[in-house]
Amino acid sequence: MKMFKKLFERDEVHSADVARERLKLMLSQDRLQRQQPDFLPRLQKELVDVIRRYTQSSQDDIQISCHALPQRSQIEVNVSWPRNT
Amino acid sequence: MAKVVVITSGKGGVGKTTSCASIGTALAMQGFRTVLIDFDVGLRNLDLVMGCERRVVYDLINVLSGEAKLSQALIKDKRLDGLYMLPASQTRDKDALTLEGVEEIINELKEDFDYILCDSPAGIERGALLAMYFAEEAVIVTNPEVSSVRDSDRIIGLLDSKTRMAEQGQAVPSRLLITRYNPERVEQSEMMSVKDIEEILAIPLVGVVPESEAVLKASNQGIPVVHDQESDAGQAYSDMTARFLGEERDMRFAEIEKKGFFSRMFGGRR
Ligand SMILES: Nc1ncnc2c1ncn2[C@@H]1O[C@H](COP(=O)(O)OP(=O)(O)OP(=O)(O)O)[C@@H](O)[C@H]1O
Ligand SMILES: [Mg+2]
């Protein structure tokens, strides 16, 4: 069935749907990025540097995320490191 | 007191200048004293679409740099009372274009006019930011095309953050104007529909202007297309302006016009 469809439909027939889906994805990324403060990348880097001065965290052990609350912005920092038992 | 309206888009060539000329003209037809400011320094286009290019003596930059008085630079429309434009300069450097300078001009114009329409240059850089900074209302011109819709979303983001109203914690009321629309291609699923774009951008729709030969013809002649009330685009701009002023109008030209047998046979003009 699918092959038939492919054979008989020209590519552009549903190009509007493709456009819509691509846009939705693009805009959700754009919008997320817009909400983040400009200093976030620098802050992230400095936080990672400071944390790793004290812990044996790898890059992946440090997660920094930014959230927009109704009245405030919030960053969440999650750090873990291997325990020397 | 005047209302400052920016006509903006992000992407270039979508119909900002065409729209600015026709909306301004339609507002003046309704009796509103209206002035159009061309912010596209370096390109200068609005005077061509308005058909007043030969009467440009001074421009926005001359006024900003103190070489001319605002009243000397304003060009009165030859067809309508109460319609003026302030041209951009073609060659001069853009450094004279400062926020303070623009503010002074806008404040002076506010004394005298009901509407101040700012024709934004393309892009999201300085010129576009200056054109939108003092806006109290925005018309976002968008084509049914991925890059245009994406840029419009960026511009909406800038209106929400980089304008005086935004700095005062208010949102600039923004409305969507879809231009170069082709309902036939939408029907064929080759083009995004009005509904698609409205949903994605999530701002209220103020008008749909179809792709139309009348627009080229009008700009060739230097007569804003809204003067051509025989044409689809001219009617669409009248409708759009009426909606902009709060009237309710059917959204013509968003659907395929079902032609009757005769007009199909003989290709009658809309
Ligand atoms: N509805 C329409 N139908 C057909 N052609 C159109 C339509 N609207 C605009 N155009 C054409 O598209 C071109 C670009 O229009 P216009 O100059 O108004 O766009 P713009 O957004 O101001 O461009 P820029 O970003 O360069 O300032 C022009 O040639 C114009 O005639
Ligand atoms: Mg233009």
Give the model confidence (pLDDT) of B77-98 as tens digits.
Answer: 999 999 999 999 877 677 788 9
**DSSP code of A62?**
E
Judging by DSSP bridges, how do beta strands B137-142 and B3-8 pair with one another? Answer: parallel
**Residue B157 CB neighbour total at 10 angstroms:** 18
Partnered with residue B98 across adjacent β-strands are none
**DSSP code of B87?**
P
| Separate counts of helices (H) and strands (E) for chain B | 13, 8
Q: What's the token pair of residue B67?
A: 């070489």
Average pLDDT of chain B, as a whole number: 93
List the single best residue of B191, B192, B194, B198 to mutate versus A (max A Cβ within 10 A).
Answer: B192
Nearest chain B residue to A26 by CA distance is B150
Instruction: Say if CB B8 and CB B138 are below 8 A apart.
Output: yes
Assess whether pLDDT exceeds 90 at residue A69: no
**DSSP code of B96?**
G
Give the model confidence (pLDDT) of A14-30 as tens digits.
Answer: 889 999 999 999 998 88
Assess whether pLDDT exceeds 80 at residue A5: no
Give the mean model confidence (pLDDT) for residues B237-263: 87
Q: Using CA positions, which residue lies closest to atom 23 of ligand 1?
A: B13
Give the mean model confidence (pLDDT) for residues B191-199: 96
- What are the backbone dihedrals phi and psi of residue B207, each rounded to the nearest 5 degrees, phi first? 180, 160
Cβ-Cβ contacts under 8 Å for B262 (sequence gap 6 or more): B268
Give the model confidence (pLDDT) of A37-52 as tens digits.
Answer: 888 889 999 999 999 9
d(C-alpha B6, C-alpha B124), whole Å: 14
Of residues B259 and B222, the one with the higher pLDDT is: B222
Cβ-Cβ contacts under 8 Å for A32 (sequence gap 6 or more): none
Complex ipTM = 0.78
Assess whether pLDDT exceeds 80 at residue A8: no
Give the model confidence (pLDDT) of B39-79 as tens digits.
Answer: 998 888 999 999 999 999 999 999 998 999 999 999 999 99
Instruction: Using pLDDT thresholds of 50, 70 and 90, give the confidence band for residue A12.
Output: very low
Q: What is the pLDDT of residue A40?
A: 87
**Chain B closest-CA separation from residue A36 CA (Å):** 12
Q: What is the pLDDT of residue A4?
A: 56
Task: For chains A and B, count residue pairs whose Cβ atoms are closer than 8 Å.
Answer: 41
Q: B40 CB less than 6 Å from ligand 1?
A: yes
Contact B70/A at CB under 8 A: no
Instruction: Say if CB B35 and CB B20 are below 8 A apart.
Output: no
List the single best residue of B153, B162, B197 to mutate versus A (max A Cβ within 10 A).
Answer: B153
CB–CB of B196 and A16 under 8 A?
yes
Contact B67/A at CB under 8 A: no
User: CA B223 → CA B47, B55, B77, B227, distances in Å?
Assistant: 10, 15, 11, 7
* Chain B residues within 8 A of A26 when measuring between CB atoms: 146, 150
Assess whether pLDDT exceeds 70 at residue B259: no
Q: What is the pLDDT of residue A23?
A: 94
